[in-house]
Structure 1
Amino acid sequence: MLDHLAREHEVRACYEASGAGYVLERMIRIWGHECGIVAPSLIPRRPGEQRKHDRKDAEELARLYRAGELVTIRVPTEREERVRDLVRFREAFQREALKVVYREGGNWTGKHFAWLRTIQRDGVLETEDQVVFGEYLALLGYKLDRRDELDRQIDALALEPAYREAVGRLCCLKGISTQAAMVLVTEIGDFRRFGHPGKLMAYLGLVPRELAGFVWALMQESVAEIEAGRRAA
């Protein structure tokens, strides 16, 4: 269809950012046509417009795109996506490990784990309880070992030229580790796409209240966009 249209017209395509990701955008560009992905939160909406109509929405999107009234998002490279997925997976593993830990009180330290091992070794539990306790302890140990292995891989990625400078600068800030810096770098991508620090802070959800219009617009991002970007960061 695109090739047929391209015989007589210049073809430029766009679609709303969604769970479909960037595959369609890359395919259209491989076919030789321009394609942009539009942030749903920045699409102009008429007051009171709530219901979605796929065909009507597509026609409206095409009209706005042709008029230059839509803001497209930056599309990461496939390598950037793979690194981001690795960093996200590490964060998911960390959350899974925390689910095993009893969260009352302070953070668990090496002394906590040493004490747990003495309980397992001294046989103070009944047989059935000993089995359950041992499996929980083994599961926690496995998750922490895999998390540490992912940390080593992320540390190695942070030394690559594409990430080294940005990670190094972020790590100069108190409280930001290599892992936290890599989360920010991989989720944000190009920091220069934010024309003002306030835009970056709003994207990260660090501006609870701001009168500037662009900050308010950015804070109205859809749930899908928040989960894909700011919430992860």
Structure 2
Amino acid sequence: MKEKLRFLGLDVHAETIAVAIAEWDGEVRSLGTIPNRADSVRKLIQKLGPAEKLRVCYEAGPIGYVVYWQLAELGVKCDVVAPTLVPVKAGDRVKTDRRDAEKLARSHRSGDLTAVWVPDEGSEALRDLVRTREAAKQDQLRARHRLSKFLLRSGQRPPTGIRPWTRPYLIWAAQLRFTQMAQEATRLDYLHEVEHMRERVERLERAITEAVKLASPALQQVINGLQALRGIADISAVTIAAELGQVSRFDSARQLMGYCGAVPSEHSSGKRTRRGSITKTGNAHLRRIVVEAAWSYHRPPCIWYGLRKRQESISEEVKEIAWKAQHRLHKRYMRLAAAGKDKRKITTAVARELLGFIWAIGTRAETTVRQQIAA
């Protein structure tokens, strides 16, 4: 029964955890601060137990889900809550760790907190790897910009017909020589960094390929299914699947759109309805990769060699969804373009609808795996 439960609020930091408890009879009090160590957490639970009578919560943040997994091993039910959705009193100008922990305990008891989905360790590890590759791509772009802008300032232009960052371009940059020793040292360092970043990205992409082979059957099925969509190849599919974790946890495509932050903001009152730009309150990594994929839908629907190759091992049902996506999203792109809308707004609108097709394919893939396991 809820009235017999004890609710713990944890304000978790790198080295300390402020603890507060809300009793079933209404009392809320602070229990002080403990070190953020596994043995300290275990002693706290033993002191306040039994574990099945405890309900714990703390805010999601840079400390990740380590405390959640520690509590799960101890048999304690724990919720990791969204910090932006924790109720805040208007006019409250005092913030301390003790007060934050008490507020979490009180709000958890009243059911006013929104829990986030906690991935398992395998999903979390794959997501870390995918985000590492994304950071490496950003570093590669910076390294290329440094070299290209240096050559531009020095008056060096590649021969006509050589496209930037192709193999002939890198050979041309490697054969350049400067009379000034300082400029030559700069060129060599920038060129070495570009090569280093290329090798780093390739190394991480090989690691992603190997990690997918060790992933769960449901995740592998989702990754294969997503590659049937236009604009989503292997790395993009892995990124989307890793960021979503379990697609079926969303009850509808609209929930997924909200999680991605791709729905329009709204400020309406009475008879007035006012909608603004997208909220951008969701997963930025997922939103970025989906918007990139949406750019490809300005082209007419077609099945070219690369897409046909990706669809070889995919069911006819998923192929039909992907083909429907091409027609619907291209039609929407052309209709908005004919209305004179800005291309960025058009792409955002197409990306929002693309999330609906991602949800449809992902949920069907996970359902198919569950049925195969049950059979």
Q: Calculate the TM-score normalised by the size of structure 2.
A: 0.52
- Which residue identity lines up with residue 24 of structure 1 in the other structure? V
Aligned equivalents of 1:190, 1:36: Cα separation in 2? 17
Aligned equivalents of 2:192, 2:280: Cα separation in 1? 43
Which deviations, in whole Å up to 9, do the C-alpha atoms of 1:136-160 show, x marking residues without a partner?
1121111111201211221233344
What's the counterpart of residue 191 of structure 2? Answer: 137
Taking a change above 3 Å as real, the CA distance of residues 232 and 220 of structure 1, as seen in their structure-2 partners, is: closer
Aligned equivalents of 1:71, 1:122: Cα separation in 2? 59
1:87 partnered with 2:130: yes
Counterparts of 1:158-169 in structure 2, within 5 Å, are 158-159=212-213, 160=215, 161-169=217-225
1:202 partnered with 2:239: no
1:150 partnered with 2:199: no
User: Are the counterparts in 1 of residues 58 and 80 from structure 2 also a CA contact under 8 Å?
Assistant: yes
Aligned equivalents of 2:47, 2:173: Cα separation in 1? 73
Structure 1: which 5+ runs fail to align?
none
Please identify the structure whose Cα radius of gyration is greater.
2
1:97 partnered with 2:151: no
Could you say what secondary structure the match of 1:19 adopts? Answer: coil
Taking a change above 3 Å as real, the CA distance of residues 220 and 95 of structure 1, as seen in their structure-2 partners, is: closer
What's the counterpart of residue 120 of structure 2? Answer: 77
What's the counterpart of residue 172 of structure 1? Answer: 228
What's the counterpart of residue 191 of structure 1? Answer: 247
Structure 2: which 5+ runs fail to align?
1-43, 150-162, 269-275, 287-375
Aligned equivalents of 2:236, 2:64: Cα separation in 1? 24
What's the counterpart of residue 232 of structure 1? Answer: 285
Could you say what secondary structure the match of 2:78 adopts? Answer: strand
Aligned equivalents of 1:54, 1:207: Cα separation in 2? 34
Taking a change above 3 Å as real, the CA distance of residues 108 and 198 of structure 1, as seen in their structure-2 partners, is: farther
Could you say what secondary structure the match of 1:12 adopts? Answer: strand
Query: Normalized per residue, which structure has more strand?
Result: 2
Aligned equivalents of 1:164, 1:149: Cα separation in 2? 21
1:35 partnered with 2:89: no
Residue among 51, 58, 61 paired with 2:104: 61
RMSD between aligned residues: 3.0
Aligned equivalents of 1:211, 1:176: Cα separation in 2? 34
Aligned equivalents of 2:66, 2:260: Cα separation in 1? 25
Taking a change above 3 Å as real, the CA distance of residues 51 and 196 of structure 1, as seen in their structure-2 partners, is: farther
Could you say what secondary structure the match of 1:71 adopts? Answer: coil
Residue 23 of structure 1 and its aligned partner are, at CA, apart by 1.0
Residue 16 of structure 1 and its aligned partner are, at CA, apart by 1.1
1:20 partnered with 2:74: no
User: Are the counterparts in 2 of residues 119 and 125 from structure 1 also a CA contact under 8 Å?
Assistant: no
User: Are the counterparts in 2 of residues 158 and 178 from structure 1 also a CA contact under 8 Å?
Assistant: no
Taking a change above 3 Å as real, the CA distance of residues 206 and 125 of structure 1, as seen in their structure-2 partners, is: farther
Aligned equivalents of 1:54, 1:45: Cα separation in 2? 15
Which deviations, in whole Å up to 9, do the C-alpha atoms of 1:65-102 show, x marking residues without a partner?
22333222221111221111111111111100100123
Q: Which structure is richer in relative contact order (CA contacts within 8 A, separation 6 or more)?
A: 1
- Which residue identity lines up with residue 131 of structure 1 in the other structure? A
Which deviations, in whole Å up to 9, do the C-alpha atoms of 1:109-129 show, x marking residues without a partner?
41xx42342343253554432
Tell me the matched-pair count. 219
User: Are the counterparts in 1 of residues 51 and 75 from structure 2 also a CA contact under 8 Å?
Assistant: no
Aligned equivalents of 2:50, 2:173: Cα separation in 1? 76
What's the counterpart of residue 368 of structure 2? Answer: none
Taking a change above 3 Å as real, the CA distance of residues 5 and 41 of structure 1, as seen in their structure-2 partners, is: same
Could you say what secondary structure the match of 2:232 adopts? Answer: coil
Aligned equivalents of 1:157, 1:211: Cα separation in 2? 44
Residue 15 of structure 1 and its aligned partner are, at CA, apart by 0.8
Which has the larger displacement, 46-55 or 30-39? 46-55
Q: Calculate the TM-score normalised by the size of structure 1.
A: 0.80
- Which residue identity lines up with residue 144 of structure 2 in the other structure? V
Taking a change above 3 Å as real, the CA distance of residues 8 and 14 of structure 1, as seen in their structure-2 partners, is: closer
Which has the larger displacement, 86-95 or 196-205? 196-205
